């Protein structure tokens, strides 16, 4: 195993659902001799692809948690993270992008750039991740890698250039022409393991020459040496590769490779491309936040002898016990090392150190910067940073969106209750977008997440992995309340019931805040409210905003300005000012014209054009706004904004409407105002619920 950082790659494989990403990963493992037999996703042999280690993933044919795995190719050590394709799980995608240095973007040669490709591309851009593209499924009817390359250029705005030309397409797809070596490659043997290199077939010579010309044109922009060599008519393979690499690392060039993972064609050249063109960890600049220096930016060094900085990016509770996936950014990790979790301040000792391959693992003694490994028995949460004692750094916090949907769950019996508690504890540690709490009023356990499927998967996992059977309620949208008008308050809290009394007066105003949930501004002059009670006021406002008076959901978008007040030398206290603040808010809330807000999702529906009309109708029936519809021949996409509350069960409706030929993705977009008739309905329901509870 190479520990030379130049021979290390940390790559992700990102794609739209159903682009064949898991199949591709499976082939990669096979050719790198990590597995000895190829299993298909949803395969007949009942085993399923190796990377989908969870039963559930096998059953549904989707990848949910991103198992990381290490392979060797051409004397390089490659860590691969198989990322989930469904938008409900983008936290996993985002987390892996934070950890990886580069990626392979997999596209379907028929579907091309699809809605989720655009999402993934945006994520790659946000984390500045260089990537190469792989156009898969060349054996499919309608395959057109040339069109897909055009789409990468047009729709995603990348300088995309074909590095290979297919020999035949669809059922006639036989092999490919490498435009760097100008040789034809065929993949023989039952699993495509024997590569036969031949001269380019005569009928494709002209096309290959033309495409090579195009490739050299684009690539030579990244190397003067290559440009000169081309002018002299002698561009060498090494010069071309160096130029491509430079373009890729700078994110100015996207080389496009082609093949069919399912037919075992084109995978080995793709692995060569990973080695040739994708950056090693030392070529990527990583930054951390210095917690001792007020959050100052610190550039990390890949020096293995420097103090250690590592990020725990994923927890798993599997067959081997608690496993923490960790990426080393600086220094190295050795068995017995002492590290500090900079979030909790807790010290840990590195016990067993392993390198993971989907379901199997290999014990190792040490790992250097740039590497991804797993630790056993470390208590932490996803996103925690570990440093050598003396360093106090945090890797940039990974953006965690607020959950938009919740569900009440109830264990069927006492045993299930214990197991459920255990499962919930685990899930919330693994996934920061999955949350749970007990509602103090109804005493129900509530789980919260990013979408219907997100919660479904956890309910299923509870059942399978923890044997915790639960009953579920109706999914509940995470509404918010917000004020729409400025309003003044002047409220006195006075209580005299023998003993020491309570007295506090607060004066000020509430203002709508366009961006952000809450702001507090203290403009009290002359100590009318003693300084020590200002935080008490703020605490009071914050507490009262947790439950709005309209429908009992949190109030957001409020700026509280405290301008004046009054205290009493004896009767004023922390609690008195808190109570006054709460009273003030409750008193004027209705005058601030509060409104109910609901999560609005960005929805993309893709499918055959013949169904576009029906799709339009389903969107408008759901109070949705169609932003655009794009028709590209027989294929079309509708982008819309639809309230989440209207999207329950949409996958079923869409499936039956389009005979399963259309699919959709959605992600949280914004909070939008609920129309008045629905607001009334929600308020009524809230009143009824309160009435019932008071009767109990």
Contacts of 624 (CB under 8 A, 6+ apart): 603, 640, 641, 642, 643, 646
Collapse the DSSP code of 118 into the 3-class scheme (helix H, G, I; strand E, B; otherwise coil) and give the result. helix
Q: b/e for 192-220, b at 16 or more Cβ within 10 A?
A: beeeeeeebeeebeeebeebbeebbebbb
Stretch in the footprint of other proteins (CB under 8 A) among 431-439, 502-510, 557-565, 622-630: 622-630
Under the binding rule (CB under 8 A), the answer on residue 569 touching other proteins is no
The interface mask with other proteins, positions 133-162, x = CB under 8 A, is ---------------------xx-------
For other proteins, the binding residue among 587, 620, 659, 685 (CB under 8 A) is 620
> How many angstroms separate the most distant Cα atoms in the chain?
104
Note every long-range contact of 415-422, with CB atoms under 8 Å and residues 24 or more positions apart, other chains counting.
416/467, 416/468, 416/469, 416/470, 417/468, 419/462, 419/466, 419/467, 419/468, 420/445, 420/462, 420/466, 420/468, 420/470, 422/466, 422/468
Nearest to 285 by CA among 266, 275, 298: 298
- Report whether 658 contacts 614 (CB < 8 A): yes
For other proteins, the binding residue among 626, 657, 669, 683 (CB under 8 A) is 626
Under the binding rule (CB under 8 A), the answer on residue 395 touching other proteins is no
Q: Which is nearer to other proteins, 122 or 495 (CB)?
A: 122
Stretch in the footprint of other proteins (CB under 8 A) among 224-232, 353-361, 423-431, 629-637: 629-637
Rounded Cα distance, 337 and 500, in Å = 57
To the nearest whole angstrom, how small is the minimum distance from the Cβ of residue 316 to other proteins? Answer: 38
Under the binding rule (CB under 8 A), the answer on residue 631 touching other proteins is yes
To the nearest whole angstrom, how small is the minimum distance from the Cβ of residue 145 to other proteins? Answer: 18
To the nearest whole angstrom, how small is the minimum distance from the Cβ of residue 630 to other proteins? Answer: 4
- Rg of the chain over all Cα atoms, to the nearest angstrom: 29
Q: DSSP E strands: which ranges in 379-517? A: 385-387, 393-395, 405-411, 435-438, 445-449, 470-472, 476-477, 480-482, 487-495, 502-512
Q: Which is nearer to other proteins, 500 or 620 (CB)?
A: 620
Under the binding rule (CB under 8 A), the answer on residue 542 touching other proteins is no
Q: Which is nearer to other proteins, 127 or 616 (CB)?
A: 616
Rounded Cα distance, 679 and 596, in Å = 6
Rounded Cα distance, 661 and 607, in Å = 6
Centroid of chain to Cα 651: 21
For other proteins, the binding residue among 630, 649, 684, 687 (CB under 8 A) is 630
Under the binding rule (CB under 8 A), the answer on residue 627 touching other proteins is yes
For other proteins, the binding residue among 127, 320, 616, 648 (CB under 8 A) is 616
Under the binding rule (CB under 8 A), the answer on residue 492 touching other proteins is no
For other proteins, the binding residue among 633, 652, 691, 696 (CB under 8 A) is 633
Under the binding rule (CB under 8 A), the answer on residue 619 touching other proteins is yes
- Report whether 196 contacts 257 (CB < 8 A): no
For other proteins, the binding residue among 625, 676, 680, 690 (CB under 8 A) is 625
Under the binding rule (CB under 8 A), the answer on residue 614 touching other proteins is yes
Stretch in the footprint of other proteins (CB under 8 A) among 128-136, 481-489, 574-582, 621-629: 621-629
Among the residues of 636-675, which ranges form H helices?
650-657
Could you tell me whether strands 321-330 and 309-318 are parallel, antiparallel, or unpaired per DSSP bridges? antiparallel
Under the binding rule (CB under 8 A), the answer on residue 485 touching other proteins is no
* Interaction residues for other proteins, span 196-235 (CB under 8 A): none
Stretch in the footprint of other proteins (CB under 8 A) among 38-46, 137-145, 475-483, 632-640: 632-640
Q: Which is nearer to other proteins, 155 or 174 (CB)?
A: 155
Rounded Cα distance, 550 and 679, in Å = 9
Under the binding rule (CB under 8 A), the answer on residue 609 touching other proteins is yes
Burial class, 36, CB count within 10 angstroms (exposed 0-12 / middle 13-18 / buried 19+): exposed
443, containing H or E segment: none
To the nearest whole angstrom, how small is the minimum distance from the Cβ of residue 670 to other proteins? Answer: 9
To the nearest whole angstrom, how small is the minimum distance from the Cβ of residue 642 to other proteins? Answer: 12
To the nearest whole angstrom, how small is the minimum distance from the Cβ of residue 2 to other proteins? Answer: 43
Rounded Cα distance, 315 and 171, in Å = 43
Collapse the DSSP code of 83 into the 3-class scheme (helix H, G, I; strand E, B; otherwise coil) and give the result. coil
Under the binding rule (CB under 8 A), the answer on residue 613 touching other proteins is yes
* Interaction residues for other proteins, span 636-655 (CB under 8 A): 639
Q: Where does this chain bind other proteins (CB under 8 A)?
A: 154-155, 609, 612-614, 616-617, 619-620, 625-633, 639, 672
């Amino acid at each position: 195993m190479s520990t030379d950082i130049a021979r290390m790659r940390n790559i992700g494989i990102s794609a739209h659902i159903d682009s064949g990403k898991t199949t591709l990963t499976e082939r990669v493992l096979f050719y790198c001799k990590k597995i000895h037999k190829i299993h298909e996703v949803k395969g007949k042999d009942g085993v399923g692809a190796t990377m989908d280690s969870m039963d559930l993933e096998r059953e549904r044919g989707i990848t949910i948690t991103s198992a990381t795995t290490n392979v060797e190719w051409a004397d390089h050590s490659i860590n691969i993270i198989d990322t989930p394709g469904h938008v409900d799980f983008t936290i996993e995608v985002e987390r892996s992008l934070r950890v990886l240095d580069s990626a392979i973007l997999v596209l379907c040669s028929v579907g091309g750039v699809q809605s989720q490709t655009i999402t993934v591309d945006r994520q790659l851009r946000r984390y500045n991740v260089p990537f190469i593209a792989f156009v898969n499924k060349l054996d499919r009817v309608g395959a057109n890698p040339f069109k897909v390359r055009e789409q990468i250029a047009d729709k995603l705005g990348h300088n995309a250039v074909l590095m290979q030309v297919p020999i035949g397409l669809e059922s006639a797809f036989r092999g490919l022409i490498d435009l760097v070596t100008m040789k034809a490659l065929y993949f023989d043997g039952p699993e495509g393991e024997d590569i036969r290199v031949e001269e380019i077939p005569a009928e494709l010579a002209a096309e290959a020459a033309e495409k090579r010309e195009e490739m050299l044109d684009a690539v030579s922009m990244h190397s003067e040496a290559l440009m000169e060599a081309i002018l002299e008519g002698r561009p060498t393979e090494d010069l071309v590769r160096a130029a491509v690499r430079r373009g890729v690392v700078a994110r100015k060039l996207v080389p496009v490779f082609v093949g069919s993972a399912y037919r075992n064609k084109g995978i080995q050249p793709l692995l060569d491309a990973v080695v040739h063109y994708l950056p090693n960890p030392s070529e990527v600049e990583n930054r951390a936040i210095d917690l001792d220096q007020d959050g100052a930016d610190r550039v990390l060094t890949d020096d293995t002898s420097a103090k250690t900085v590592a990020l725990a990016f994923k927890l798993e509770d599997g067959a081997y016990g608690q496993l923490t996936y960790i990426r080393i950014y600086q220094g190295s990790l050795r068995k017995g090392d002492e590290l500090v979790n900079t979030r909790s301040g807790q010290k840990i000792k590195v016990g067993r150190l392993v390198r993971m391959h989907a379901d199997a693992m290999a014990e190792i003694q040490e790992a250097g910067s740039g590497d991804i490994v797993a630790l056993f028995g470390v208590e932490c949460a996803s996103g925690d940073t570990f440093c050598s004692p003396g360093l106090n750094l945090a890797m940039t916090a990974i953006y965690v969106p607020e959950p938009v949907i919740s569900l009440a769950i109830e264990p069927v019996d006492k045993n299930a209750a214990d197991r459920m508690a255990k499962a919930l504890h685990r899930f919330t540690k693994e996934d920061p977008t999955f949350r749970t709490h007990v509602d103090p009023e109804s005493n129900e356990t509530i789980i919260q997440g990013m979408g219907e499927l997100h919660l479904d998967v956890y309910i299923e996992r509870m059942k399978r992995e923890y044997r915790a059977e639960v009953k579920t309620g109706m999914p509940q949208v995470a509404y918010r309340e917000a004020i729409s008008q400025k309003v003044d308050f002047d409220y006195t809290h006075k209580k005299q019931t023998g003993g020491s009394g309570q007295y506090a007066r607060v004066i000020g105003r509430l203002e709508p805040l366009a961006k952000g949930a809450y702001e507090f501004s203290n403009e009290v002059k002359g100590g009318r409210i003693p300084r020590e009670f200002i935080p008490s006021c703020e605490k009071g406002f914050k507490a009262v905003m947790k439950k709005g008076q309209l429908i009992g959901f949190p109030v957001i978008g409020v700026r509280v300005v405290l301008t004046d007040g009054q205290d009493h030398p004896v009767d004023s206290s922390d609690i008195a000012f808190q109570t006054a603040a709460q009273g003030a808010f409750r008193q004027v809330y209705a005058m601030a014209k509060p409104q109910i807000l609901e999560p609005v999702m960005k929805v993309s529906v893709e499918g055959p054009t013949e169904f576009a009309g029906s799709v339009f109708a389903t969107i408008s029936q759901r109070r949705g706004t169609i932003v655009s519809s794009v028709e590209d021949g027989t294929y079309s996409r509708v982008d819309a904004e639809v309230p989440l509350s209207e999207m329950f069960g949409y996958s079923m409706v869409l499936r039956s409407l389009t005979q399963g030929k259309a699919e959709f993705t959605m992600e949280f977009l914004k909070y939008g105002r609920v129309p008045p008739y629905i607001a009334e309905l929600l308020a009524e329901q809230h009143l009824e619920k309160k009435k019932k509870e008071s009767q109990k």
